[in-house]
Amino acid sequence: MRMTRERLRALRCAVVASALATVLTAGAGAAVAATGGHSAAGSRGSGGTAAAPAAASTPAAASSGTDRSGSTEYATSHVTTIDAATHQLRATVDGKTVAVFPVGFGQPRFRTPSGTYRVLGKDAVIEMTSCSARITCDPDSPDYYDLQVPWAVRLTSGGLFVHGAPWDHTIGSEDISHGCIHLSVADAEWFYNFSRPGDIVIVQGTGRSGGPVGP
């Protein structure tokens, strides 16, 4: 059983490393420049559909890979609804749907908390660990992880993100995360470029209203 866990962990790390190599090679600034082509990229391998983001991150913010202004004071035309019943993320601008993507939620022991959130910040790549999430610091635990995660949009200071999950091949059908909301890497890149600090994100139907979460 120990060998099986180690092999699974090694495979997951290899998949993440491959995805991150693509992210870092292209550069976050290049990702913003390419937003006009996201209609195809957003649907590739995910079953999702998307128009070009109506208001992508500014090149300055994207080139640094982060936007941590954390503003929640201004009204926004961007509203995203993430529904556990349909396993879908629906992004809207002024009430018009601009993207629909399949998503994954937290597994039963780590259910994603429902609620109405504001985008607090973004990271093109962020390290997430089970130890910092207070899940486990034991490398032999099946819940242990130490990952470089792409296209992360932060919803809470406690660790709830919408992010790319290249290791998750059940997105849209099963829930295997430790609380975060999973997207394919292509869909997560689109959502990263679409999202601005202060944007409204509604998570509904998960059966949980709060608690510590991880990737």
Which candidate in 87, 178, 180, 182 is catalytic? 180
Backbone angles phi, psi at 101, to 5 degrees: -130, 145
Nearest alpha-carbon partner for 195 in 59, 105, 78:
78
Query: CA–CA separation, 140 vs 58, rounded Å?
Result: 41
Burial of 25 (0-12, 13-18, 19+ CB in 10 A): exposed
Nearest alpha-carbon partner for 5 in 140, 129, 109, 146:
140
Q: Are 74 and 197 in contact (CB under 8 A)?
A: no
Which candidate in 78, 163, 178, 182 is catalytic? 163
Instruction: Report helix, strand or coil for 25.
Output: helix
Q: Catalytic site residue 163? A: yes
Q: Which residues contact 19 (CB under 8 A, 6 or more apart)?
A: 150, 164, 166, 185
Q: Catalytic site residue 180? A: yes
Q: Which two tokens stand for residue 181?
A: 């909301």
Instruction: List for the chain the helix, strand, coil content (%; round to 5).
Output: 25, 30, 45
Distances (CA, A) of 128 to 55, 70, 123, 133, 144: 27, 20, 11, 8, 11
Q: Enumerate the active-site residues.
A: 163, 180
